[in-house]
Amino acid sequence: DAKTTQPPSMDCAEGRAANLPCNHSTISGNEYVYWYRQIHSQGPQYIIHGLKNNETNEMASLIITEDRKSSTLILPHATLRDTAVYYCIVRVAGGSQGNLIFGKGTKLSVKP
């Protein structure tokens, strides 16, 4: 699986957009980008995933660059409840293995 690089921490003002970057310069053509988050003392929560097109759901938007070497997770109106560690993971979808390899992630602190 491709390695990802994320900033260790970020701050965001409540109500503003939080833009979390992820570099995955060695991503392969069949690897998806997944985002998860882990709120303190809880299990990780799936947020969104994408292959090459930008994606949006009720939680967030995912912007993937044209060369697919980086992506940005956007929380359009961050709330205090969005304070968490956000993990960017790339891997092949499907196949016999289902595990995801978690890096250190970005600790997002949303401040009032």
Q: DSSP character for 3?
A: -
Q: Quote the tokens at residue 13.
A: 């003002």
93 touches another protein (CB under 8 A) = yes
3-state secondary structure of 81: helix
Q: Quote the tokens at residue 83.
A: 């304070």
Q: CA-to-CA distance for 81 and 92, rounded, in angstroms?
A: 30
Give the one residue of 87, 88, 106, 108 binding another protein; rule: CB under 8 A: 87
Q: Are 53 and 79 in contact (CB under 8 A)?
A: no
Q: Which is nearer to another protein, 63 or 107 (CB)?
A: 107
107 touches another protein (CB under 8 A) = no
Residue located via tokens 């833009």: 19
Q: Which is nearer to another protein, 48 or 110 (CB)?
A: 48
Give the one residue of 8, 29, 40, 43 binding another protein; rule: CB under 8 A: 43
Give the one residue of 18, 27, 34, 82 binding another protein; rule: CB under 8 A: 34
Question: Footprint of another protein on this chain (CB under 8 A)?
Answer: 32, 34, 36, 41-46, 49, 87, 91-95, 97-105
